[in-house]
Amino acid sequence: MNIRRMTLDDLAQVVAIDKTSFSLPWPERSFRFEIMDNPASRAWVAEEDGKVVGAIVAWLLVDEAHIATIATHPDFRRQGIASKLLVHTLQSMMNEGALTSVLEVRESNSAAQEMYRKFGFEESGRRPRYYRDNNEDAILMTLYKLKVES
């Protein structure tokens, strides 16, 4: 499995994964904006045998790596793909000066929360009624110390 920058050529596959993964998927124009126009954005895909099997978009906001979206194709889950995308993203953003990482996750999304906890993210807040499809709360999770001790 190979991790590389997301390009416009990946859009169809990335949008398809997003649609099957979220009740509020991003429209194609959002991914296009992230790739083309958002200077804070870092977007990668995981590729296997020429097929996109996972994707991540993160924003570098000063010293904070904000995980905006991450998803693995349903046929390829529980194979470590999202973990590898996350490690790649956090390491790369650390090299660019990120010290912490933050994300929002649905209260009901225990699979994702479990993964984030494995990386050391902890619950740091709550955004009430954050998701407009069902008014579900978002749990804010923070990884406070990205920096490797020297």
Token pair for residue 140?
């804010």
What secondary structure letter does DSSP report for 150? Answer: -
Nearest approach in angstroms of CB 118 to ligand COA is 5
58 binds ligand COA (CB under 6 A): no
The angle at the Cα of 117, spanning 112 to 118, to the nearest 5 degrees, equals: 100
Query: Binding ligand COA by CB under 6 A: which of 39, 78, 95, 132?
Result: 78
109 binds ligand COA (CB under 6 A): yes
The span of 1-9, 29-37, 111-119, 122-130 binding ligand COA (CB under 6 A) equals 111-119
105 binds ligand COA (CB under 6 A): yes
Residue 37, helix vs strand vs coil: coil
The span from the CA of 146 to the CA of 22, in Å, is: 27
Q: Tell me how far CA of residue 140 lies from CA of 116, 122, 125, in angstroms.
A: 11, 8, 5
Q: How many CB atoms lie within 10 A of CB 90?
A: 19
41 binds ligand COA (CB under 6 A): no
Residue closer to ligand COA, measured from CB, 22 or 130: 22
Residue closer to ligand COA, measured from CB, 37 or 75: 75
Site for ligand COA, rule CB under 6 A: 21-22, 70-72, 77-83, 105, 109, 111-112, 114-115, 118
